[in-house]
Amino acid sequence: MKNWVRHHWRSLAATLVRFARTPLASVLNIGVVGVALALPLAFYVILANLQSLAQDKAPTPQISIFLALDAQASDARETENRLKKHAAVAKVRFVPRDQALADLKAKSGLSDVIASLGRNPLPDGFVIDARENSSAALEQLRDEFKAWPKVEHVQLDSAWARRLDATIRLGRLVVLVFGTLLGFTLVAVTFNTIRLQILTQRAEIEVAKLIGATNPFIRRPFLYYGAVLGLAGGITAWIVVWAGLWLLNDRLGSLTQLYGASFTLRHLSLPDAASLCLFAAALGWLGAWLSASRNLAEFDPE
């Protein structure tokens, strides 16, 4: 066990020395991987900020219930009691028909026309704030309230919620597509880098095989190289996105002050940053494993 751990440490140390011996090539490879990962990461961070902004600034969707014109005061009280006891309802506001008519007169500018009406054509109504604002939950409440007695019509103000959900789903799809394509770029860069290293060390590998070294033993340093390359690329991507957000926040601060508002883009959280680095290291390891497994199998010393 100690020999196995010692060999892993030596492989890791040899990998770091290899990076140090070719600083320019290492920096260029890390830069390519970092830029490839920074693009989907930037989309992800911007999407998360837009989603948070929409949830904070968008108006709360409401459900409006209109009772039948022949509903009595007792029907309105019964409906109000049922709404207040409903687990999915956060707030209920009763709008009597007389108040609704008065508001219409004040806001429509048609007070003369309304005064000429023989009777009040507006029903009693309720304005409801739901505890959950997702479009699915709101539509379920709408369908439930429609079946209540003396309820004539239920209006759901959730068009913006559906548009927001559709936009976020589209954004997640774009991030997934970009992440997949650029993740493949990381694997390809690692694959070619390891292939070139194997070709330059062909004589050493053949000698190692002649004295009994196995493919897993020979492959191990290359796997560490790929993992370290991916990890360094992930850290570089995080730094690039962090610097970009810092610059944007500096400009956004000046812009939002002109409108009397305050908004800053949030940086990637620590768990997300750790996940990014681990994912990048895993992709680098995969590219190295594919390259080493294929190229080491191409030649066997006799």
pLDDT tens readout for residues 73-112: 888 888 889 888 888 888 888 888 777 767 666 665 555 5
pLDDT of residue 106: 67
- Is the pLDDT at 296 greater than 60, yes or no? yes
| Inter-CA distances, 19 with 3, 129, 218, 224, 282, Å | 24, 59, 18, 11, 18
pLDDT of residue 131: 81
pLDDT of residue 202: 75
- CATH assignment of 62-157, among 1.10.3720.10, 3.30.70.3040, 3.30.420.40, 3.40.50.2000: 3.30.70.3040
> Which of the listed ranges 62-71, 159-168, 169-178, 214-223 does the model predict with the highest average pLDDT?
62-71
> Which of the listed ranges 2-16, 204-218, 222-236, 244-258 does the model predict with the highest average pLDDT?
222-236
**Mean pLDDT of all residues in 278-297:** 84
- Global pTM reads 0.62
Supply 224's token pair: 């560490």
pLDDT of residue 155: 83
- Is the pLDDT at 256 greater than 70, yes or no? no
Domain extents in the chain = 2-57+165-296, 62-157
Residues whose CB is less than 8 angstroms from the CB of residue 227 and which lie 6 or more positions away in sequence, other chains included: 281, 282, 284, 285, 288
Of residues 68 and 9, more confidence is placed in 68
Supply 23's token pair: 């600083």
pLDDT of residue 113: 55
**Mean pLDDT of all residues in 214-235:** 83
